[in-house]
A and B are shown apart, each in its own frame.
Chain A
Amino acid sequence: MNLAEEKELLRNIKENPERFGDLFDAYYKPIFNYIFRRTGNYDISRDIAADTFLKAYLKVQSFVWKEISVQAWLYRIATNEVNYFFRRDKSARLVQETFLLHAEMLFEFDDYKTEKQLLEDELKQDEDFAKVQRCLKQLDIKYQEVLSLRFFEMKSILEIAEILDKKEGTVKSLLSRGIEKLKSLFNSAI
């Protein structure tokens, strides 16, 4: 979806909120995949993606078109949600993970099993990615977000700056320091 199409869709959503479904259809997959690449957990990604789109749905009426595209705005909400998940104290995260583990029983239908299995298998098969992801999680959130957007989502510096609401220079410097830190963790990891 290009910027003109996004603008048009946003106008339609403000006239008729039901049209949010079109935005959801267009961007759910990339946002869910982005969250999955950061967390590495199917159930948690599903949960965070649902929160992301619920927040977007409730706030879309007040969205004012400035410099930032709708896609970048959705990435920004998702990034904040993932950061919030990582920043929460460990006990809260453990409760959520345990709850989701047991909640699996509720979702045990064929599509759920297949989808979850496929994604988690793919993650296990690609050892390099799994190792980078493990190391990335040990870094500060500020490095995690720029590195994942740059190398997992292949976003340009400008796009990352838009999503994170930072200056391009700041993004570049965070990237350069982040790569250095990630490299040392990667090399020392087993």
Chain B
Amino acid sequence: MENDFEKKLGNLKTPGADQVKHQENLKIGLMNARKSSKIGLVFILVPAVFVLIAYIKFQFIMSIDLPATFQGILHETDHASWLRWVVPIVFLVVPILAAIVNLLAVSHFQIDKKTKEVIITVQYRLKNLIVLFISIAIILSFWCFIIFGYVHFK
């Protein structure tokens, strides 16, 4: 009797797809996952390192209590011509690029010719989404900073 059941299991007709059409869509995302994560990491590390260095420098100057030196450095930095270019690049251009790269990594566009629709899907990839949100936060903070008049471009 047990052999009959085993035979029955052996002869089971198993369901399965002959052609898996979603395979190609998945492949595109998979093959780009590592690349886009690395690029995103680089783009987020640059402003993060910049902020960290600025913070450490600020803390160090405050702790040795040299307001005159601090003011002098600020005065010099304020007049440094390179800063006018570096700040917008680090806080605006780089996060915008990071946001674009990561947005492209998680989104997928498909045109359905029959119904004349563009189907946009967003894949759930935590690393890319975190980088995307951090980039957007940096861009928004920087814009708020400009709007409230703390930074003046000459």
Contacts and interface: CB of A to CB of B under 8 A. Distances in A.
Contacts of A132: 9, 12
Given A132-B12, A152-B12, A29 B17 contact: yes
A179 B5 contact: yes
Interface string B74-115: 000000000000000000000000000000000000101010
Contacts of B17: 29, 32-33, 36, 115, 118-119
Interface string B1-44: 01001101110111111001111001100110110000000000
Contacts of B8: 128
B132 to A, nearest CB: 18
A21 to B, nearest CB: 6
B10 A21 contact: no
Given A33-B16, A115-B20, A57 B34 contact: yes
Contacts of A114: 21
Interface residues of B, number: 28
B56 interface: no
Size category of the A interface is 35 or more
A24 interface: yes
Nearest to B28: A21
Interface in A16-33: 17-18, 20-21, 24-25, 28-29, 32-33
B52 interface: no
B21 A179 contact: no
A111 interface: yes
Interface string A52-75: 011001100000000000000000
B63 interface: no
Contact of A24 (B12, B15, B27): B27
B71 interface: no
Contact of A53 (B2, B6, B13, B26): B26
Max chain B C-beta neighbours (<10 A), residue from A17, A50, A147, A186: A50
Contacts of A108: 119
B20 A126 contact: no
B20 A129 contact: no
A180 B9 CA distance: 12
B12 A21 contact: no
B112 A28 contact: no
Given A115-B20, A183-B5, A50 B13 contact: no
A172 B90 CA distance: 62
Contacts of A29: 17, 20, 23
Given A152-B12, A152-B14, A183-B5, 12 more contacts: A20-B31, A21-B27, A28-B20, A32-B20, A37-B15, A54-B30, A112-B21, A129-B15, A132-B9, A151-B9, A179-B5, A179-B9
